[in-house]
Structures are given as C-alpha cells and as structure tokens.
C-alpha cells in the first residue's frame, strides 16, 4: 500500500481498499465501506488481471465467502499473490494516467483512454515532465476520445489538475513505470481504481 | 568554422576522383575569397595542386588557419589533427569515415581527446561538413555538376546523415527558397545537434531550421535548446529510425504504449517542433515557413479558376484541421459589384474558366482585406485561356503586399512549371496538390498556436 500513500501525498485520492487474508477480513471490510466491493488477486505475473479472470465484481456480505474461495482457486497459477478488496467505483469513463522513465528525455507522462480499451485503441497522448497547464490541456485535446472524457468543463479541469499532480509526483520520486489504470472520471469526481508502480 | 578567412584542405589531391581533390575544386568553384591551403604529405616542395601552392603539413603553412577540412584515411586522422592542434587551427571538419559507425569507437575517442586538448571545434567524423552559399564555404565532396547548390536564403539545414542531407540539398536547389547554412555532422563525436541549434539560434541569416536526426545524444539539453529556439525560429524535423528498443521489458501499459519513437514525438509536440513524416513534407513545410507571416487563425479563403480543384482544396482544408472563411457582408457586396454574373459570390470563390489577371486582381484585393480571412489559397490552372504570366505577376504583387499567409496551387506540366518557378523564386510558395498546400498551411497555423499557447 506504499503506492497508495504516495498518491495521497500528492493529493490524488484512490478508492478505499485493503488487502484481505481471509473471508472474515473481507466481510469486515464490506461492513466498513457499507456497499458492495470488488476483489482482485494481485500478482507480479499477471499484468492483465481482468483477462486472467482475477477480478470479481459485486461482492456482498452474502456471497463474500464463496467468492473469496473461488478467486483463490483461479489465482493459484499466478502464486504468490495477494487479495485486494476495493469499494465498487461508481460508473464513469475509464482512463489511464501513467508515466515512465525514458533514458533519453527523463520522466514521461501519459494520458489515454483506459481500462480494456488501452491496447485496442491506443488512444493516448504523451509529454515530458514537468508539464505546464497548457501541456495538460493539449494532452486532452489531442485524444480522439476527448469528447467522451470532457463532456463538461468540470471534468476537463479535474483531469488537468490530476495530470499536474501526477507530473509532480513522477518528477520528485524514483519511479520507473507508473499506471493508474483505470482511473474513473465522472462529472464531478474521480476514483483511482488500480495502480501499479515500478520503482 | 562557419565563416573562416583561411582554410586548409588536408588530403588535397591532383587525382580528380579523390575526395580531397573535389573539396578543393569546390572551394575554387564556389568563389571562396579567403586563403586556401592544399595539404598533401606526399607532395614535393614547391609543387602546386590546381594552381595553388601545396604544403606537406599544416605546420609548414606558418599562417593562421581558421578551418581544416580533413579528408585522409581514418587511421591517419589522429596524426593530422594533432598537427592541426600544434599549428593552432581553430576548427576542423573531419570528412573521413571509418570511426564509430564501423565499430572503431576507440579511434573516434582518440580524435575527440585531441580536439579537446587543443580546443579545436570538430565536426564529424563521417560527414559532409558545411556549406554556406553566402560566405562561400563548401566542404562537400560532391561535384557541383552532380549536385546543384542552392542560392542564398533563410533556411538552414542540419543533417545527421550525409545521404539524406545531400539529396535534400539538391532538391532545395530546385525549389525557389534559398539556403543559409547546410551542416552535415555525421557521428557527432564532439559538436552535436545541441551545439548546432545553439549556433543557429544566434545566426541572423537563419530564419527556419530544418533537421534530419536519427538519435539524440543529450536528450535533456536538446529539450532546453529547442525550447529556446522554437520561440524564435521554427524547427522542422524529420526523424529516421523508429525503434522498438526498450519496449520488450515493459511492465506497465504506459511503457508498452510509450516507446522510444513516441517519446521523440512527445518532445517534438511539446516544444513546438514541426514534424515532417517524409521528405516531401520537409520541402513543403520549409517552403512555407521560409516565406510566410504566421496566420492569426485557421479560416482559409480559396480563390480558383477551376471548380473541381476548389472542391478538392476545400476537402483538404478540412482534413487538415482548417476551415473555410465566411466572407463578410462588405466583401460579398463589393465582389458582386466587380465580378461577372457567372461568378458565385461564396468561398471557395470560383472565378470561372475565363478568369484573367483583372479578375484575380479584383478578387485578391477584396478577399485579402476581409477580417474573416486568416490565410489565402490561390489556385491557378494555367491551362485556361485567361491564365498567363500576367496572372502570375499579379499573384507575386499581392504576395508582397498583403500581411496574411498566401500560397498558390498550380497543377500541370511545362507551361505551368515555368510559371511555378517564376512565382516561387519571387517568394510565393507554390504547391502541386491541394493536400500538400493545406497540410503546409495547417503546420503554419499549429506553430502559431504553439507560440501563442493556444490549445
């Protein structure tokens, strides 16, 4: 959960989540957040969690035990792994914000259409850190999917702010690769649902 | 290096097929006005090469030498360069190949050490060197009868590759716009693109920079310098070598998407470089940037004497992210007064197949003043009865007298080409196709947006 606290340090909220070791811990978490949750098996060996069937949605107190056990079974081939329980995010547009260290130019920051569309559409824009507000606005306007993302001015402003924060975070930390994928963008709010940091 | 008063050609030869001979001959052909010293270690005392007194070594010259052009076999270069150092030669262009490009890294490092030791600004090795039509410097080993030299102009061209460099140079000579400096820097062992951009930033003759690069050595310094340059002078860049290197090890989606080529693309976009995808683009863009005022918006007026070409140009305008201007009521009213009834008063303005110099002139004087118009494309199909040299002259007149970007499209063979050359050499960029014309205008508009921080 180090990555999560790193994000928080830069004012980037990620969705409420915790690692759970047992059904009991999972049920406690569901009670605490007061809504259904998602469970994911996290393994170094699986970049595509949903493709590998390692993500289960809509987990309630009733189906928690059976779901937990079935996820463990599916994740066996990817051992060692941990189980992450996460509050269900409200629907929105799935985007990716990422970064990587380039040998030549230094830290790069990426914005793109996220989730399962990342590789299908390869709709993204890229800049060198640090970025200015103008660069962040340009990154949005360059996307083919810009109209889907910025259906109102508020969401656009929010994405600009997010990009500036991520750029600062990339600049100030030893990060080789970063994926916030997906980060769910809604009219007035967002949720960083999944993150991956390689230091 | 760029404006030497005295040049030593080391490896100068009497054999007309030798590189050292051609370089010397080219200096003479170019009318170089400074001192010229042929150097050849097998020459006998008192001998001449093409009528110039020859020396066995730079050490024998005993006069100041600003530039040494070195064209001797690679293994001899360290010795020759060492002598240059002792003779206090200020700069050197190492034409010779046979260094890092063939794995001789150590030999290359040795000459860099020597250059540093004696503080010699060294270009190359493995390059064509420099050409400046104004100060008449020409280190190219390509005979003037094979490769045409451009006339004096505002475009400076920096090329990592000698092959791409020389062919583009040949094409520039054919185009109407001229050249400020040509610099082929080869292996960039000492002087590299960052140094060259720094130099061209301050060079008053350079208005536009064109670059061919394969790889950049100092990425962060490159960013710093292009940031400075692109605020003042446009940089048009073509990048060779799109590698997949580094993508294999990607652990994240970001690294998988954003490879080496994407990183270059990002840098070009972020810092206002104009990226040419092909050699054609390079010329189309260089042409427009070297002659144009920047537009203040993306609204295009099209004036044509052919309906269909106007339609194709309209399509090209929109495909390239520009749009057609809506003429003001005032312009429409005035146009109606002077145009024959067969002319529809709308944009694109089709002057009809019998349009002559008078009709073009009337249209241009009204449309160019319209506040709704940011740029003008004038199509002249010279195959029609009214289109002749008087129309071309009129276009040149307007080009010189309006402060908005204006370009022309002509399509055709001999008669058309004659007029194309006439217009181009007078500073009006002419294009053979609507798509080329519109994409060039679009790059001009994008650059204006970058300079003014408009998203």
In whole angstroms, what is the distance from residue B356 CA to residue B363 CA? 11
Residues of A within an 8 Å Cβ radius of B: 47, 96, 98-100, 102-106, 108, 110, 112, 118-119, 122, 124-128, 131, 134-135, 137-138, 141-142, 177-179, 181, 196, 198
Could you tell me how many residues make up chain A?
Answer: 199
Three-class secondary structure assignment of chain B = CCCCCEEEEECCCCCCCCHHHHHHHHHHHHCCCCEEEEECCCCCCCCEECCEECECCHHHHCCCCCEEEECCCHHHHHHHHHHHHHCCCCEEEECCCCCHHHCCHHHHHHHHHHHHHHCCEEECCCCCEEEECCCCEECCCCCCCCCCCCCEEEEEEEECCHHHHHHHHHHHHHCCCCEEEEEECCCCCCCCHHHHHHHHHHCCCCCEEEEEECCCCCHHHHHHHHHHHHHHCCEEEEECCCCCCCCCCCCCHHHHHCCHHHHHHHHHHHCCCEECCCHHHHHHHHHHHHHCCCCCCCEEEEEECCHHHHHHHHHHHHHCCCEECCCCHHHHHHHHHHCCCCCCCCCCEECCCCCCHHHHHHHHHHHCCCCCCCEEEEECCCCCCCCCHHHHHHHHHHHHHCCCCEEEECCCCHHHHHHHHHHHCCCCCEECCHHHHHHHHHHHHHHHHHHCCCC
- Residues whose CB falls within 8 Å of the CB of residue B396, separated by 6 or more in sequence, listed in order: B422, B423, B426, B427, B428
Instruction: Write the residue in B254, B267, B269 that is nearest to A179 by C-beta.
Output: B254
In whole angstroms, what is the distance from residue B210 CA to residue B275 CA? 10
**ipTM given for this complex:** 0.84
Asked whether B131 and B150 are in contact (CB, 8 A), the reply is no
List the domain boundaries for chain A: 16-87, 93-198
How many angstroms separate the Cα of A89 from the Cα of each of A19, A145, B82? 17, 21, 70
When scoring B252, B449, B451, B453 by the number of chain A Cβ atoms within 10 A, the one with the most, hence best to mutate, is: B252
Question: pLDDT value at position B298?
Answer: 97
B299 and B282 in a single domain? The answer is no
Cα distance from B247 to chain A (closest Cα, Å)? 11
Asked whether B98 and B81 are in contact (CB, 8 A), the reply is no
**CATH topology identical between A16-87 and A93-198:** no
* Pairwise CB contact (< 8 Å): A137 & B455: yes
| Most confident residue range from B15-24, B94-103, B282-291, B365-374 | B365-374
Cα distance from A178 to chain B (closest Cα, Å)? 7
Handedness of CA B291, B293, B297, B302 (dihedral sign): negative
Task: Tell me the chain A residues in contact with residue B251 when contact means C-beta distances shorter than 8 Å.
Answer: 47, 177, 196, 198
Whether B266 has its CB under 8 Å from any CB of chain A: the answer is: yes
Question: pLDDT value at position B247?
Answer: 46
Question: pLDDT value at position B127?
Answer: 92
Instruction: Write the residue in B253, B257, B270 that is nearest to A128 by C-beta.
Output: B270
B302 and B444 in a single domain? The answer is yes
Q: Which of A46-55, A118-127, B227-236, B408-417 has the lowest average pLDDT?
A: A46-55
* Pairwise CB contact (< 8 Å): B254 & A99: yes
Grouping H, G, I as helix, E, B as strand and the rest as coil, residue A95 is: strand
Instruction: Write the residue in B253, B262, B263 that is nearest to A179 by C-beta.
Output: B253
Bridge partners for B211 per DSSP: B158, B237
Question: pLDDT value at position B325?
Answer: 98
In whole angstroms, what is the distance from residue B80 CA to residue B93 CA? 12
B247 and B303 in a single domain? The answer is no
Q: Which of A58-62, B53-57, B254-258 has the lowest average pLDDT?
A: B254-258
B403 and B342 in a single domain? The answer is yes
Average pLDDT, chain A: 89
Tell whether B140 is covered by a domain: no
B326 and B366 in a single domain? The answer is yes
Bridge partners for B6 per DSSP: B35
Residue B104 sits in a domain of what CATH number?
3.40.50.720
Q: What is the pLDDT of residues B123-151, one digit of tens each?
A: 999 999 998 888 888 887 777 777 777 88
Question: pLDDT value at position B245?
Answer: 53
Residue B451 confidence (pLDDT) above 50: yes
Bridge partners for B375 per DSSP: B300
Q: What is the pLDDT of residues B168-204, one digit of tens each?
A: 888 888 877 889 999 999 999 999 999 999 999 999 9
Question: pLDDT value at position B242?
Answer: 64
Residue B67 confidence (pLDDT) above 60: yes
The strand pair at A195-198 and A177-185 is best described as antiparallel
B282 and B414 in a single domain? The answer is no
What angle is formed at CA A95 by the lines to CA A92 and CA A97, rounded to 5 degrees?
A: 140
When scoring A110, A116, A133 by the number of chain B Cβ atoms within 10 A, the one with the most, hence best to mutate, is: A110
| Most confident residue range from B99-108, B244-253, B359-368 | B359-368
Q: What is the pLDDT of residues A139-151, one digit of tens each?
A: 999 999 888 876 6
Q: What is the domain class of A16-87 according to CATH?
A: alpha beta
Under the banding of pLDDT at 50, 70 and 90, the label for residue B244 is low
Residue B244 sits in a domain of what CATH number?
3.40.50.261
What angle is formed at CA A143 by the lines to CA B270 and CA A49, rounded to 5 degrees?
A: 110
B284 and B325 in a single domain? The answer is no
Task: Tell me the chain B residues in contact with residue A138 when contact means C-beta distances shorter than 8 Å.
Answer: 269-270, 455
Tell whether B134 is covered by a domain: no
Instruction: Write the residue in A104, A137, A181 that is nearest to B253 by C-beta.
Output: A181
Instruction: Write the residue in B220, B223, B262 that is nearest to A126 by C-beta.
Output: B262
Tell whether B137 is covered by a domain: no
When scoring A128, A140, A144, A199 by the number of chain B Cβ atoms within 10 A, the one with the most, hence best to mutate, is: A128
Provide the CATH topology of domain A93-198. D-amino Acid Aminotransferase; Chain A, domain 1 (3.30.470)
**Best CA proximity match to B301, nearest among B394, B350, B367:** B367
**Best CA proximity match to B310, nearest among B383, B420, B409:** B409
Number of domains in chain B: 3
Tell whether B136 is covered by a domain: no
Residue of B nearest to A120 (CA): B257
**Best CA proximity match to B69, nearest among B127, B133, B119:** B127
Bridge partners for B376 per DSSP: B301, B406
B112 and B253 in a single domain? The answer is no
* Pairwise CB contact (< 8 Å): A104 & B260: yes
Tell whether B367 is covered by a domain: yes
Residue of B nearest to A44 (CA): B251
Q: What is the pLDDT of residues B378-400, one digit of tens each?
A: 999 999 999 999 999 999 999 99
Q: What is the pLDDT of residues B71-115, one digit of tens each?
A: 999 999 999 999 999 999 999 999 999 999 899 999 999 999 999
Token digits of residue B8: 């030593």
The CB-side HSE value for A155 (13 A sphere, CA atoms) comes to 19
Average pLDDT of the segment spanning B274-281 = 91
Tell whether B138 is covered by a domain: no
How many angstroms separate the Cα of B97 from the Cα of each of A198, B109, B214, B381, B425? 42, 14, 18, 49, 37
In whole angstroms, what is the distance from residue B23 CA to residue B69 CA? 9
Asked whether A107 and A171 are in contact (CB, 8 A), the reply is yes
Query: Hey, how many other C-beta atoms are within 10 angstroms of the C-beta on B103?
Result: 10
Domain containing B325 equals: 294-451
Tell whether B141 is covered by a domain: no
Cα distance from B193 to chain A (closest Cα, Å)? 14
Cα distance from A31 to chain B (closest Cα, Å)? 33
Question: pLDDT value at position B246?
Answer: 45
Average pLDDT, chain B: 91
Could you tell me how many residues make up chain B?
Answer: 455
In whole angstroms, what is the distance from residue B147 CA to residue B108 CA? 29
The strand pair at B299-304 and B349-350 is best described as parallel
Question: pLDDT value at position B167?
Answer: 86
Average pLDDT of the segment spanning B262-287 = 93
Task: Tell me the chain A residues in contact with residue B257 when contact means C-beta distances shorter than 8 Å.
Answer: 98, 110, 112, 118-119, 122, 124
Under the banding of pLDDT at 50, 70 and 90, the label for residue B243 is low
**Best CA proximity match to B99, nearest among B109, B91, B90, B89:** B109
Higher pLDDT, B37 or A4: B37
Q: What is the pLDDT of residues A159-177, one digit of tens each?
A: 999 999 999 999 999 999 9
B71 and B163 in a single domain? The answer is no
**Best CA proximity match to A129, nearest among B318, B220, B216:** B220
**Number of Cβ pairs < 8 A linking chain A and chain B:** 89
Token digits of residue B26: 């080219």
Average pLDDT of the segment spanning A174-195 = 89
Tell whether B142 is covered by a domain: no
In whole angstroms, what is the distance from residue B211 CA to residue B191 CA? 15
Asked whether B9 and B50 are in contact (CB, 8 A), the reply is no
Verify cis geometry, omega within 30 degrees of 0, for the bond prior to B111.
no
Under the banding of pLDDT at 50, 70 and 90, the label for residue A59 is very high
B424 and B402 in a single domain? The answer is yes
The strand pair at B349-350 and B323-324 is best described as unpaired
In whole angstroms, what is the distance from residue B299 CA to residue B404 CA? 11
When scoring A96, A111, A126, A181 by the number of chain B Cβ atoms within 10 A, the one with the most, hence best to mutate, is: A126
Average pLDDT of the segment spanning B240-251 = 59
In whole angstroms, what is the distance from residue B407 CA to residue B15 CA? 47
Whether B245 has its CB under 8 Å from any CB of chain A: the answer is: no
């Amino acid at each position: 959960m180090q990555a999560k606290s790193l994000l928080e340090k830069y004012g980037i909220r990620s969705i409420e989540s915790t690692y759970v070791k047992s059904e009991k811990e999972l049920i406690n978490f569901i009670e605490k957040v007061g809504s259904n949750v998602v469970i994911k098996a996290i393994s170094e060996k699986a970049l595509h969690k949903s493709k590998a069937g390692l993500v289960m949605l809509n987990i309630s107190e009733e189906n928690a035990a059976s779901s937990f056990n079935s996820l463990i079974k599916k994740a066996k081939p990817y051992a060692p792994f941990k189980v992450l329980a996460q509050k269900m995010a409200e629907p929105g547009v799935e985007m990716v914000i990422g970064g990587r260290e380039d040998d030549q130019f230094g830290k790069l920051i990426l914005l793109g259409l996220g989730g399962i569309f990342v590789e299908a559409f390869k709709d993204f824009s890229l800049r060198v850190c640090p970025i200015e507000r103008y660069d962040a606005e340009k990154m949005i306007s360059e996307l083919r999917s810009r109209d889907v993302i910025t259906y109102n001015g508020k969401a656009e402003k929010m994405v600009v702010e997010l990009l500036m924060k991520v750029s600062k975070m990339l600049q100030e930390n030893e990060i080789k690769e970063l994926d916030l994928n997906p980060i769910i963008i809604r009219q007035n709010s967002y949720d960083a649902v999944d993150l991956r940091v390689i230091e | 290096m760029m404006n030497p008063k005295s040049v030593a050609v080391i490896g100068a030869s009497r054999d007309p097929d030798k590189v050292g001979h051609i370089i010397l001959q080219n200096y003479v052909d170019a009318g170089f006005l400074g001192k010229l010293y042929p150097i050849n270690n097998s020459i006998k005392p008192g001998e001449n090469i093409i009528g110039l007194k020859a020396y066995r070594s730079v050490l024998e010259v005993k006069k100041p030498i600003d530039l040494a052009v070195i064209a001797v076999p690679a293994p001899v270069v360290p010795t020759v360069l060492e002598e240059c150092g002792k003779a206090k030669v200020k700069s050197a262009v190492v034409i010779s190949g046979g260094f890092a490009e063939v794995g001789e890294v150590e030999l290359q490092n040795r000459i860099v050490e020597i250059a540093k030791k004696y503080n010699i600004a060294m270009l190359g090795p493995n390059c064509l060197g420099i050409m400046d039509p104004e100060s008449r410097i020409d280190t190219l080993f390509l005979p003037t009868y094979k490769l045409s030299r451009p006339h004096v102009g505002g475009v400076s061209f920096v090329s990592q590759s000698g092959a791409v460099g020389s062919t583009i140079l040949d094409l520039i000579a054919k185009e109407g716009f001229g050249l400020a400096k040509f610099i082929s820097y080869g292996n960039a062992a000492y002087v590299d693109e960052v140094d060259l951009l720094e130099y061209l930033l301050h060079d008053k003759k350079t208005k536009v920079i064109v670059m061919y690069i394969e790889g950049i050595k100092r990425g962060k310094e490159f960013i710093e310098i292009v940031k400075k340059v692109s605020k003042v002078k446009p940089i048009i860049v073509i990048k060779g070598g799109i590698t997949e290197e580094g993508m294999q090890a990607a652990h994240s989606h970001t690294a998988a998407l954003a490879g080496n080529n994407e990183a270059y693309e990002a840098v070009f976009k972020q810092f206002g470089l104009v990226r040419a995808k092909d050699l054609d683009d390079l010329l189309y863009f260089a042409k427009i940037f070297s002659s144009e005022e920047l537009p203040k918006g993306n609204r295009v007026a099209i004036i044509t004497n052919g309906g269909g070409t106007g339609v194709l140009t309209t399509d090209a305008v929109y495909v390239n992210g520009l749009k057609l201007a809506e003429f003001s009521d005032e312009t429409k009213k005035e146009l109606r007064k002077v145009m024959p009834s067969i002319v529809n008063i709308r944009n694109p303005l089709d002057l009809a197949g019998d349009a002559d110099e008078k009709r073009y002139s009337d249209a241009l004087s009204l449309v160019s003043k319209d506040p709704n118009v940011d740029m003008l494309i004038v199509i002249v199909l010279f195959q029609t009865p009214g289109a002749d040299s008087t129309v071309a002259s009129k276009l040149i007149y307007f080009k010189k007298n309006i402060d908005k970007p204006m370009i022309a499209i002509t399509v055709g063979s001999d008669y058309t080409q004659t007029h194309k050359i006439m217009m181009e050499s007078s500073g009006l960029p002419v294009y053979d196709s609507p798509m080329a014309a519109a994409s060039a205008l679009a790059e001009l508009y994008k650059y204006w947006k970058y300079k003014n921080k408009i998203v």
